[in-house]
Amino acid sequence: MLSGLNIGAITQSLSYLFVQGMSTTLTLTVLAAVGGVVLGTLIALMRLSSLPVLPKIAAGYVNLMRSLPLVLVIFWFFFLMPYIAAWVLNASRPVPVGGFASALITFTLFEAAYFSEIMRAGIQSVSQGQVGAGYALGLTYRQVMMYIVLPQAFRNMIPVLLTQTVILFQDTSLVYVVSVTDFLGAASKIAQRDGTIVEMYLFVALVYFVICFSFSMLVRRLQARIAISR
Residue 122's pLDDT is 92
3-class secondary structure, 173: helix
The arithmetic mean of pLDDT across residues 104-128, rounded, is: 94
Domain residue limits, the chain: 2-229
Asked if residue 186 has pLDDT above 70, the reply is yes
Is 80 exceeded by the pLDDT of residue 150?
Answer: yes
Residues counted in the chain: 230
- Residues 13, 33, 121: CA angle, nearest 5 degrees: 145
pLDDT bucket at 82, cuts 50 / 70 / 90: confident
Residue 69 C-beta-side C-alpha neighbours within 13 Å: 4
The whole-number pLDDT of residue 77 equals 87
Q: Residue range 72-83: average pLDDT?
A: 88
pLDDT band at 1 (very low <50, low <70, confident <90, very high): very low
The residue-averaged pLDDT of 181-208 equals: 91
Q: Are 174 and 183 in contact (CB under 8 A)?
A: no
Determine contact, residues 227/177, Cβ cutoff 8 Å: no
Could you tell me if 24 and 181 are in contact, meaning their C-beta atoms sit under 8 angstroms apart?
yes
Task: Give me the mean pLDDT over the 92-103 stretch.
Answer: 87
Mean pLDDT of 18-31: 95
Q: Write the CATH number of the domain with boundaries 2-229.
A: 1.10.3720.10
Q: Between these two residues, 11 and 67, which has the higher pLDDT value?
A: 67
